[in-house]
Amino acid sequence: MTTYALTDSWTMTRRELAHWARQPVQIVVNLVFPVMLLLMFGYLIGGGREVEGGYVDYLLPGMLALTMAFGLEGTMLAVTQDLNKGVIDRFRSMPMANGAVLVGRSVADMLQSVLSLTVMIGVGHAIGWRTHGGVAGFLGAVGLLLLFRFAMLWIGIHLAMVAGKPELVQAVQILVWPIGFLSNAIATPESMPGWLGTLVEWNPMSQTATAVRDLFGGPGGEPGHVWAAVLWPLALVGVFFPLAVRRFGALSK
């Protein structure tokens, strides 16, 4: 049974990857948008009050975490479009594992996330950012970022099915922006009012950004946040993955 589920999920993954060739503009936009944010905050808006060390060294890990939270609308739209166009019904008439469509979509999204991280890290090196935590630290930081993306992805999939229609996805996606910017991605909590700084420190994205900074060996990193950066995403996946699968099963009956 597991073999069939993996095979079906890989088939759905290849289906999603085939869409990349037909929609290259969307892929390019998803890659360029976080780069624009990095350059904008790094050179136009930046300054990094309360940051010890170079602001770019502080900013880039935060922007990597921010990138893992943004760009979910492509996956959310794909899920709602499949539901509304009857594609799911056709898949259900085939001998296919339940949920393979969602797994395939999530794998394709994670592959795109790896590409986004690669581009952002390359741009970071081009503007002077460097890592100081060694190979193990670098790989650990990338792993935490992808784990955070995986958690955000399943939140997005669940919310997409709750929304139900492609035109409502944009309204749901807007909710990600306050979560993203209410963090230490681009500014330190110390530079904020006390109550706001406390709220920011509890944001799961802040935990990931702080842990990644530590693993990269840059300013703003704290070793104690690594466990929180692991446990927060795992808890979110533990809640939203079963909710998404259950919702998918209910909507596709």
Query: Per-residue pLDDT tens for 75-130?
Result: 887 778 777 776 666 666 666 666 677 788 888 889 989 999 999 999 999 988 98
In one-letter notation, the amino acid at residue 153 is L
Q: Domain spans of the chain?
A: 2-251
Number of C-beta neighbours around residue 31 at 10 A: 18
d(CA 25, CA 150): 23
User: pLDDT at position 70, please?
Assistant: 83
Write the pLDDT tens digit of every residue in 182-211: 888 888 888 778 788 888 888 899 999 999
Q: pLDDT digit string (tens) for 9-31?
A: 667 677 666 766 676 766 777 77
Q: Are 144 and 50 in contact (CB under 8 A)?
A: no
First to last CA, the chain: 21
